[in-house]
Amino acid sequence: MELAKAYEPKVAEESHYKRWEECGFFKPELNQDPGAETYSIVIPPPNVTGSLHMGHALQHTIMDVLIRWKRMQGYKTLWLPGTDHAGISVQRKVVEQLRKEENKTPLDIGRDEFVARCWTWKEQYGNTITEQMRREGASVDWSRHRFTMDESLSLAVRNVFCTLYDEGWIYRGLRIVNWCPKDRTVLSDLEVKEETRKDGKLTYLKYPIEGTDRTLTVATTRPETMLGDTAVAVSPSDERYKDLIGKTIALPLTDRKIPIVADEYVDAEFGTGAVKVTPAHDPNDYQIGERHNLEKLLIMNDDGTMNAAAGAEFEGLDRFAAREKVVAMFGDLGLLEKVEDYEISLPVCERCKTIVEPILSEQWFVKMDEMRDLALDLMRTEGVPHFSPQVPHEKVYTLWLENLKDWTISRQLWWGHQIPAWYDDEGNVYVAPTEAAAREKAGGKELKQDQDVLDTWFSSGLWAFSTFGWTGGAGVPADLATYLPTDVLVTGRDIIFLWVSRMIMLTGKFTGEKAFNDVVVTGTVLGKDGKPMSKSRNNGVDPIEMFDKFGVDATRIYLASIATGADIKWNDVGVETYRNFANKIWNATRFCLLNSEGASVDHSDLVERGEMGIADRWIISRLNQTALDVNKSLERYEFHTAVSLLYHFFWDDFCDWYIELKKDEINAGDIAATRRILTVLEIALRMLHPFMPYLTEELWHKLPGTSSAMNNSVYSEAEASIMLTKFPPGDLSAIDPQAEAEMGAVIEVIKRVRNIRTEMQISPSIKFEVHIGAQRSFQEVFRANEAQILKLARAEKIVIGDTLVAPKASAKAVTSEAQIAVPLEGLIDFDKERERLSTQIAKLGEERSRLDAQLSNANFVERAPAEKVEGLRDRSKELEGQIATLQMNLSALG
RNA sequence: GCCGUCUUAGCUCAGUGGUAGAGCACACGCUUCACACGCGUGGGGCCACAAGUUCAAAUCUUGUAGACGGCACCA
CA–C1' gap, A530 and B48, in angstroms: 19
Nucleotide nearest to A275 (CA to C1'): B75
Per-residue pLDDT at A1: 59
Average pLDDT over chain A reads 91
CA distances A598 to A608, A611, A643, Å, are 21, 22, 33
Q: Tell me, in Å, how far CA of A80 is from C1' of B20?
A: 44
Spanning CA of A275 to C1' of B38, the rounded length in angstroms is 74
Binning chain A into helix, strand and coil, the percentages to the nearest 5 are 50, 20, 35
Q: Which nucleotide is closest to the Cα of A268 by its C1'?
A: B74
The integer distance in angstroms from the CA atom of A242 to the C1' atom of B36 is 87
| Separation of A847 CA and B20 C1' (Å) | 13
Separation in Å: B25 C1' and A451 CA:
62
A679 CA to B22 C1' in angstroms comes to: 28
* Secondary structure (3-state) at A65: helix
Q: Which residue is nearest to nucleotide B68 (CA to C1')?
A: A531
pTM: 0.94
Query: In the structure, how far is the CA atom of residue A850 from the C1' atom of nucleotide B53, in angstroms?
Result: 23
Q: A347: which nucleotide lies closest, measuring CA to C1'? A: B73
Which nucleotide lies nearest residue A663, CA to C1'? B34
Q: Are A778 and A817 in contact (CB under 8 A)?
A: yes
**What distances in angstroms separate CA A396 from CA A155, A251, A370, A420, A567, one per listed residue?**
33, 45, 20, 34, 17
B54 C1' – A869 CA distance, angstroms? 17
Can you give the distance from the CA of residue A170 to the C1' of nucleotide B1 in angstroms?
33
- Closest protein CA to C1' of nucleotide B25, residue: A573
A594: the nucleotide nearest its CA (via C1') is B34
* A558 backbone dihedrals φ, ψ, rounded to 5°: -65, -45
Distance from residue A519's CA to nucleotide B54's C1', rounded to whole Å: 36
pLDDT at A508: 95
Q: CA of A76 vs C1' of B74, distance in Å?
A: 57
Closest nucleotide C1' to the C-alpha of A190: B71
Nucleotide nearest to A220 (CA to C1'): B75
- Could you tell me which of A381, A411, A379, A417 has the C-alpha nearest to residue A158? A417
Listed as ranges, the nucleotides of chain B within 7 A of a protein C-beta are 3-6, 12-15, 18-19, 22-24, 28-42, 54-56, 67-75
- The burial class, CB within 10 Å (0-12 / 13-18 / 19+), for A38 is middle
Closest nucleotide to residue A638 (Cα to C1')?
A: B14
Give the residue nearest to nucleotide B30 (CA to C1'): A764
Any idea which nucleotide's C1' is nearest the CA of A225?
B75
B3: residue with closest CA to C1': A396
Q: What is the ipTM of this complex?
A: 0.96
CA of A778 to C1' of B70 (A): 60
Angle at A387 between CA A385 and CA A389, to 5 degrees: 170
A213 burial type by CB count under 10 A (0-12 exposed, 13-18 middle, 19+ buried): exposed
Per-residue confidence (pLDDT) for residue A804, from 0 to 100: 83
Q: Which stretches in chain A have pLDDT values below 70?
A: 1, 708-709, 894
Q: How far apart are CA A138 and CA A700, in angstroms?
A: 19
Quick one: which residue's CA is nearest to B36's C1'? A580
Residue A612 makes CB contacts below 8 A (sequence gap 6+) with A620
Q: Which nucleotide C1' is nearest A753 CA?
A: B41
Residue A878, nucleotide of least CA–C1' distance = B19
With contact defined as beta carbons under 8 Å apart, do A484 and A511 qualify?
Answer: yes
For the purposes of burial, counting CB atoms within 10 Å of the CB of A817, is it exposed (0-12), middle (13-18) or buried (19 or more)? buried
Q: What is the pLDDT of residue A709?
A: 66
Residue nearest to nucleotide B74 (CA to C1'): A270
The per-residue pLDDT for A708 is: 67
Which nucleotide's C1' atom has the smallest distance to the CA of A756? Answer: B41
Distances (CA, A) of A738 to A161, A614, A661, A784, A792: 66, 9, 18, 15, 22
Query: First CA to last CA across chain A, in angstroms?
Result: 58
Distance A140 CA to B35 C1' (A): 34
Measured CA A81 to C1' B34 distance, in angstroms:
40
Which single residue has its CA nearest the C1' atom of nucleotide B5? A392
